[in-house]
């Protein structure tokens, strides 16, 4: 089956009406996944047949009267990575905490992989990773700045501090698939930066388009699915995920005395209380029993 991720910033006047109709259509088409709808646009990931996904895209294109047809990043999967279909209304389709920042009105200049390499080679360019710190630690671009955020909501505070002294410098911004830096570049322009650029299609598109010899990417790329991270060939990488804090774990982390499978890791062990440890231990046991019976536990990843 196909797994397709997509987004579009566009004014939506009646998100609740769109939500209900989208839910009915997706269920009729036999799709699984999640779609978020807000006044600022739509963001989602769908799993199912190519024809069914196209039918939803065609409906969205007609309903939202988009100038350029919605499409997404298409990948193959042997089975659906989702168990149900959910369409939800949110304040933002990517949570910056600033629903007033509207990339459909103003956003940074999109650059492709070749232009990106030239842009970040300029020593005057500020290369900003708009992702969370734990994503940065898995892999990033050469000389990229880590804003040290634990969620995208923290990015505006970082951007305001940066704007105090650097608005005259060009800014190159990137994220996994493009949606976060789309909104982050709009914020930077609002804060007074003049030359703001974003990597078109994000890191995943860059890894797809650029040969290893020309790549400026270092490490792996964290992804929000069961693979945890992917390498330069977009194959499953060398990280697993902590079931307690959801952070990616390297081989070094797994060999740490602070790592307890399904319970804690070196990144969260100091925050673990006895009650939570008991719950996680019971969950770990249930997952193990399900595996021994050849079943999939509802909490397993």
**41 φψ region: left (φ > 0), alpha (ψ -120 to 50), beta (else):** left
Q: What is the DSSP letter of 150?
A: S
Are 22 and 35 in contact by the 8 Å Cβ rule? The answer is yes
- The encoded tokens of residue 41 equal 């646009």
- The residue among 271, 213, 210, 203 whose CA lies nearest residue 242 is 271
**Furthest CA-CA distance within the chain:** 62
| Active site (annotated) includes residue 268 | no
Please name the helix (run of DSSP H) or strand (run of DSSP E) that holds residue 198, with its range, or none.
strand 196-199
C-alpha 102, offset from chain centre? 19
- The residue among 136, 141, 102 whose CA lies nearest residue 125 is 141
**Catalytic-role residue among 175, 181, 221, 265:** 175
Q: Alpha helices, DSSP H only, in 2-70?
A: 15-28, 50-64
Are 198 and 110 in contact by the 8 Å Cβ rule? The answer is yes
Are 147 and 155 in contact by the 8 Å Cβ rule? The answer is yes
CA distances from 105 to 47, 89, 178 (A): 30, 21, 16
Q: Can you state the angle between helices 179-190 and 155-166, rounded to 10 degrees?
A: 40
CA distances from 71 to 33, 201, 205, 277 (A): 16, 12, 14, 43
Question: Residues with catalytic annotation?
Answer: 175
């Amino acid at each position: 089956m196909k797994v397709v991720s997509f987004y579009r910033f566009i004014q939506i006047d009646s998100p609740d009406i769109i939500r209900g109709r989208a839910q009915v259509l997706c269920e009729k088409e036999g799709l699984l996944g999640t779609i978020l709808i807000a006044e600022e646009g739509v963001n989602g990931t769908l799993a199912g047949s190519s024809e069914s996904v196209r039918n939803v895209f065609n409906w969205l294109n007609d309903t939202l009267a988009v100038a350029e047809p919605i499409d997404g990043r298409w990948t193959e999967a042997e089975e659906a990575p989702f168990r149900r279909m959910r369409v939800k209304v949110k304040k933002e389709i990517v949570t910056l905490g600033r629903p007033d920042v509207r990339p459909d009105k103003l956003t940074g200049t999109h650059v492709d992989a070749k232009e990106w390499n030239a842009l970040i080679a300029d020593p005057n360019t500020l290369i900003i990773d708009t992702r969370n710190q734990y994503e940065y630690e898995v892999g990033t671009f050469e000389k990229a700045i880590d804003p040290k955020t634990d969620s995208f909501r923290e990015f505006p505070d970082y951007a305001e501090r940066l704007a105090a002294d650097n608005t005259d410098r060009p800014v190159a911004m990137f994220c996994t698939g493009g949606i976060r830096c789309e909104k982050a570049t709009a914020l930077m322009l609002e804060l007074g930066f003049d030359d703001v650029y974003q990597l078109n299609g994000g890191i995943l598109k860059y890894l797809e388009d650029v040969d290893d010899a020309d790549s400026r990417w270092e490490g792996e790329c964290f992804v929000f699915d069961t693979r945890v991270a992917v390498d330069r060939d977009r194959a499953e990488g060398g990280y697993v995920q902590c079931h307690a804090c959801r952070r990616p774990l390297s081989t070094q982390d797994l060999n740490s005395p602070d790592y307890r499978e399904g319970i804690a890791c070196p990144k969260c062990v100091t925050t673990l209380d006895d009650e939570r440890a008991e719950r996680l231990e019971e969950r770990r046991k249930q997952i193990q029993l399900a595996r021994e019976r050849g079943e999939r536990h509802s909490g397993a990843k």
